[in-house]
Amino acid sequence: MAKHVKILFLGDVVGRLGRKAVGEFLKEYVQREEFPVFSVVNVENASHGYGLTEKNYNELSNCGFNCMTSGNHIWDKKDIFDYIKRADKLIRPINYPKKTKGTGSKIFEFEGGKIAVINALGRIFMHPCDSPWDVVVKEIKKLKKITPNILIDFHAEATAEKVCFAKFCSEFGVSAIIGTHTHVQTADEQIINGMAYITDAGFCGVSDSVIGMDYESSLKRLATGLPERYEIPSSKVVQINAVEVLIDMQTGKSLEIKRFSLQKDYREAKK
């Protein structure tokens, strides 16, 4: 087992260009990194902004990601119910009812050792789900018997809920909590009781957009209050939001946290 490992967490991926960008970013990152890398990407919007198809799951898996987390949109593509049991890199929120397909946590073994990942949903301004507080603590205690290294993707809307949940979980020896869902990267990365934390990792998708979706369809829906199908913008400029965490694999404590925000231009070169 390595002494130190870098966790690379890519924010919510939106659409085809988002998938392309994170795959290329991961490859470049691993090539230049001196530490073993454990890579995680949130995929609940990966297939045209809604859920994850098996085809796109395989695409991201082939890019080399160790783990894929999700959220409330993971069920939007119906083939998820057919393939989730054999999708060994994918986890769904742990606080869905017990009989829900898939798993809410998993221990991943890679070149650096063992890292456990838990996915959980917030409840404020979100669709109804079970309380994450007790179920996550029970899971942390169970996983701690196997590895001290535990990462949580907390998929939630309200900042206060995320911050409070993070402080609460830090008391149980969690290595890192990365917030997802709002698609806007926050500037509050910090270490709390040896636990890395950021309220939201941001998103990976078309930058000239409304959190990944087309402005016109977003405007119609928000201005009129009427149903309107969101669409992926046609722009070829993609933003990549990511978070890097350096952890001590013996203690499970985080030593550093850093965020990335950059753009990649897929437009054809001008003549």
Identify the CA nearest to 262 among candidates 77, 25, 76.
25
Q: Are 84 and 96 in contact (CB under 8 A)?
A: no
SS3 of residue 216 by DSSP: helix
Known active-site residue 127: no
Measured distance between the N- and C-terminal CA atoms of the chain, rounded to whole angstroms: 51
Q: Is 127 exposed, middle or buried (0-12, 13-18, 19+ CB in 10 A)?
A: exposed
Could you tell me which of 183, 180, 207, 151 has the C-alpha nearest to residue 70? 180
Residue from 73, 155, 181, 183 carrying the catalytic annotation: 73
Q: How many residues make up the chain in this entry?
A: 271
Which residues are annotated as catalytic?
73
